[in-house]
Structure 1
């Protein structure tokens, strides 16, 4: 999988791309990342990438011509190497909420491009040059770089061969069942008066599975009942 990153601060990704399973995926060849700054296509002596908003207002707005030039340069380089065009994804608070099913879909794409904003946002015309808009949540950050890292981490871990045990992703929170994960325990068996549930030491795998399923349902009902509503309306949940 290839990830193209459009960011004014490529240095923010240096440690992230060398760390944990993302770094292993880079080393192992499952992940390729290309970083490109819109500043390379900036205007004038100062390589300007933003300007004041038409109609007035506070802050600066990222220019459409600079951003599109950056995106198209990445695509042109990929085409010259015989590689596929990336699916362009604009990271913005106005986008579709990023969720596990989206990460699963993106993990099957040969290439995605994550466009990180800064300042007061993008010129509205940028939206005409992307394939999708995603939001990390109902809050505002100063840039899209942290959101891009979240999308990369959630997506890359689903690529076969990246994690040691891909099956573990099926039972975790927001996995195939759409539920929160059941409680997990490890040694010691007792800590400050709290013991590990006996069923987990019983050796009866059927009982363990039933206990975990029940606890997943109860935890989801208590903490995220909206997930159960979504699960009931999902085509996968229907017989």
Structure 2
């Protein structure tokens, strides 16, 4: 019955995704730390071009370590990572990052925080400032463009962090539980804004979360991680663009239940 519910709305989105090219590829990747056994063990994972691939699992299962390997921030002891067909040895300019904390600079205003990645690469141009203004407008932040970030709410700071990650128009975005500290209403709003931006830019995303509902709402594909391994992956065959009411639909809840059972160790 679950499979029937999940596939009922799937045909068009499945056909579209089957035609996508693989953009990020992890092949048999393993990672261990000096005083620990494997925190990532023999993981195979891919993100298609323009796809949001969500990685879920309990705290301590290795999600963040795997994301850092995928982004070139950590070198695996075994296996290989390829981005757009090229072996990845270190982070590249076409990547963007959003971590659990916004990590904004208190002494800069919103606009200058947003433009910081540009300034680290080259001189900021008029076109860059125009692009920054457009991002702020899309995220509803125009009225605070020249405010210091220290006095802003958590939701506003998270929006700025997302805009900053997109300022250089990265083709690949890595996100590590960026909405975990937000209240439920702000989180839902930010998820919708994030999906609109990803659609507009055609960005590929690897998104780490421990929130099953968030993974299903955002993701085109969801992989479950436990004890350093990927133990299941599912296509999210739900209508796009995602509407807020989708969260209350039977197919959405059926997939959430299936993912929960997988995380609890049931055979699905």
**TM-score normalised to structure 2 length:** 0.23
Higher RCO (CA 8 Å, separation ≥ 6 residues)? 2
**TM-score normalised to structure 1 length:** 0.25
Structure number with bigger Rg:
1
Q: Which structure shows the bigger proportion of residues in strand conformation?
A: 2
